[in-house]
Amino acid sequence: MSAFALDVGTADFTQVVIEGSYTQLVLVDFWAEWCGPCKVLKPLLEQLAEEYQGQFVLAKVDSEKHPAVAEKYGVRSIPSVMAFIDGERVDGFTGALPEGEIRAFLTRMLPSEADQLLRHAIELRVAGDPISALKTLVAAAEVAPDNENIRIEAADILLDQGQIDKARGLIDSLSPALRQEDRLKPLLNKLRFSDQKTGNEDELLARIAHDPNDHDARIALANLYIAQRRYEDGMNALLASIAADRSWNDGLARKTLLEAFCLTDVAPLVPTYRRKLASLLN
């Protein structure tokens, strides 16, 4: 059996197809022994999987032996081929297409050079090497200067490094339509908190100790903590302000806390702090 063309069934579909598609394109070929066109298409797909040497994985599912998988993905006729990327079915075709059309389909599905560089940059960042990640993103931008996803990732790294003006320049260069999308909220909120990284922690704590109703100091302290990635400290400061006066400045502390909830790094803490916020407001 080829390393690039695997027989897959109900037991290992999730591992091979869904989980596997987070690292490379996975094509699923639903076939059956009695299907004439399948006997033409399947060996062609196997040949292409070997030729492309790991650029994609071919998962072959016998729809007669594994009807639950075929039913789950709405297979009505075979052969039926589906493409999976990042855990989602993104495209597909039915029938034994000619080789040229299949190659064109693969060209559309496979990541471009810029996409590969972007993925590598993300891997470098996750591995704790943001400098190399930024260099890789520069190379990606040279290949695809109009790719806004590259600018989004670069801006996020620059904010982590405290290079706020450079990050803002990249964010400002994004199309107005993209900036309205929900997926930009974490980055835009991250920029806002980075902009609020002002004041001295000791001075702000002293102001609050002198006057517990100094909500300007509480909000400033929360913004400072969150900009420093001290998320729990920041959200606790906001909860303290809400507890003292939830309506101060048109509920600014609550609005700031909701903005913090949108930050990507805060996601694991959100359920806990949503409950804390609810208990204060109810």
Q: Say yes or no to pLDDT of 1 above 80.
A: no
pLDDT at 43: 96
How far apart, in Å, do the first and last CA atoms of the chain sit? 61
- Express each pLDDT in 223-278 by its tens digit: 999 998 999 999 999 999 999 999 999 999 999 999 999 999 999 999 999 999 99
Residue 35 among the catalytic residues: yes
pLDDT at 94: 95
Q: Which long-range contacts (CB under 8 A, 24 or more apart) does 127-132 make?
A: 130/157, 130/160, 130/161
Domain ranges of the chain: 5-109, 113-195, 201-281
Catalytic residue among 38, 134, 221, 222: 38
Average pLDDT estimate for 192-206:
87
Return the CATH class of domain 5-109: alpha beta
Catalytic residue among 16, 26, 27, 35: 35
% residues pLDDT > 70 (the chain): 99
DSSP-derived secondary structure letter, 57: E
Tokens for 266? 């805060």
Asked if domains 113-195 and 201-281 share a fold, the reply is yes
Closest CA to 118 of 91, 143, 82: 143
β-strand pairing of 80-85 with 88-94: antiparallel
Average pLDDT estimate for 111-128:
92
Average pLDDT estimate for 145-172:
95
Q: Say yes or no to pLDDT of 2 above 80.
A: no
Residue 15, CA distances (Å) to 7, 10, 32, 88 in order: 13, 10, 22, 13
pLDDT at 199: 78
Q: Say yes or no to pLDDT of 183 above 80.
A: yes
Third-level CATH fold of 113-195: 1.25.40
Which CATH code of 1.25.40, 1.10.10, 4.10.280, 2.60.40 fits the domain covering 201-281?
1.25.40
Query: Please, what is the average pLDDT of the chain?
Result: 94
Give every strand in the sheet of 5-7, ordered side by side. Answer: 5-7, 56-62, 25-31, 80-85, 88-94
- Express each pLDDT in 60-91 by its tens digit: 999 999 999 999 999 999 999 999 999 999 99
- Express each pLDDT in 10-26 by its tens digit: 999 999 999 999 989 99
pLDDT at 195: 85
Average pLDDT estimate for 156-172:
95
Reported as half-sphere exposure (CB side, CA atoms, 13 A), residue 206 has a value of: 5
